[in-house]
Structure 1
Amino acid sequence: MFDARFERSVNVLCVHDENGAMGLNIGEERAGVTFHEVLGELGIDPQGSADREVLRGGPVEPGRGFILHSLDWGGSDTIEVHGEDGPLCAVSASMDILRAIAAGRGPRRWLMALGYAGWGEGQLEAEMREHGWYAARGDAEVIFDMPASQRWLAAWQAEGIDPALLATTTGHA
């Protein structure tokens, strides 16, 4: 990738339409920030919820939080994220989901990210033509079951690709 902020990033593309695209980087933790700390800042009692790392979702609005989660929870602001074979997961950005997770009523699988990656109309397509991104199939195990530091390699391996064999230059045929 030509932008160092996205080097070895693993982005779940949440929205992609005629207006642009929005994704969450799930491959990098945000140093020194935990889920319980975020809940505390928002005045939500973490109760018995698991404390987890918070991910650096992207450079846009780095103070805005998103929950990427399994399909077993839905709110009015929930957007389904589709993979090759249909719905893969969902993304929500409400206080309701944070309260539900804290109370043990939230989705079974979830990640929290602060910030997001955004592309204007046609921008992502142009970056793809310049070989700036590789579009892998969505894999719930890579998304939810791998530590953030292992997701980049796991995403390539899930595609059957050894990233050590990738060239650092591209061409056009």
Structure 2
Amino acid sequence: MEKRTTSGPRKLLLMLPNTEFYNNKFLYFSRHENADFFNDSVIFLCEHSKSGAFGFVMNQPTDLSESILLSKLNLNKNNKHETLKHVLRGGPVDTDRLFVLHNTNGVKFQQTTRISDDLFLTTSNDILESIARKKIDAKYKIIVGYCGWAPGQLESEIKQNSWHIISSDMDLVFDTLPNLVVDKLSEKIGYNLRTIVSGENSH
């Protein structure tokens, strides 16, 4: 499966009102290939249009806690931000780049893009500074890397039944531990995602 693409969060694409596109949906990788990066992954799809798609894996935490990350960036000098929350591994593209997905935009940041009415993506360091100082009044996830698809690539993979499409839930994005996302999503939709077999229809 090709993972690198010309599409990505550097410049968000216009959202197109087309039922073939799945903006703000969850994708679950349904092929059960243990060696694949996406095995057992739930991806929040931020953008999907004829120009490509990108999103973030919601259930792959890194070994790096937010506190340690902020300390490494010299943003946590007074240890104001102490948490066991871990940075998420958002995907195999740009794995040295940080993103913050958050649910309000009460504070103006340098590089913020609206994903939906109440969801934003910020890529500038000023939001990390606000997090370190506990000056952000929002739910958020710090993410490294992202998932990207070239034009038509995701559509082709969906036709091959590689992905199970599910309505998103912001509680699962922001309020659920990564290791519980698949279980909680399975409870929500009424069947165990880990038992689906590639070839079944998506919902």
Which runs of structure 2 are paired with 1:7-86 in the superposition (5 Å)?
A: 7-31=39-63, 33-45=64-76, 47-51=79-83, 52-73=85-106, 74-82=108-116
Give the letter aligned to residue 9 of structure 1.
S
* Residue aligning to 1:113: 143
Whichever structure has more helix as a proportion of its residues is: 1
* Residue aligning to 1:123: 153
**Higher alpha-carbon deviation: 45-54 or 104-113:** 45-54
Structure 1 portions without partners, runs of 5+: none
Cα deviation digits, residues 81-137 of structure 1 (max 9, x gap)? 33xxxx352221110110111112224211111111111111111111111112211
Could you tell me how far apart the structure 2 residues matched to 1:158 and 1:76 are? Answer: 36
* Alpha-carbon offset, residue 160 of structure 1: 2.9
User: Structure 2 length as normaliser, TM-score?
Assistant: 0.73
Could you tell me how far apart the structure 2 residues matched to 1:60 and 1:93 are? Answer: 15
Could you tell me how far apart the structure 2 residues matched to 1:171 and 1:163 are? Answer: 12
Q: Is the 8 A contact 2:93 2:148 kept in 1?
A: yes
Could you tell me how far apart the structure 2 residues matched to 1:120 and 1:45 are? Answer: 37
Structure 2 portions without partners, runs of 5+: 1-28
Cα deviation digits, residues 45-78 of structure 1 (max 9, x gap)? 2642242211111111111111111124453422
Q: Is the 8 A contact 1:69 1:107 kept in 2?
A: no
Q: Is the 8 A contact 1:88 1:138 kept in 2?
A: no
**Higher alpha-carbon deviation: 87-96 or 136-145:** 87-96
User: Structure 1 length as normaliser, TM-score?
Assistant: 0.84
3-state SS of the aligned residue for 1:8?
Answer: coil
Q: Is the 8 A contact 2:52 2:153 kept in 1?
A: yes
Give the letter aligned to residue 142 of structure 2.
M
Q: Describe the shift of the 1:102–1:157 C-alpha distance in structure 2 as closer, same or farther (beyond 3 A).
A: same
Give the letter aligned to residue 65 of structure 2.
T
Q: Percent identity?
A: 26
**Higher alpha-carbon deviation: 142-151 or 70-79:** 70-79
Report how many aligned residue pairs link the two structures: 166
* Residue aligning to 1:146: 176
Could you tell me how far apart the structure 2 residues matched to 1:171 and 1:44 are? Answer: 47
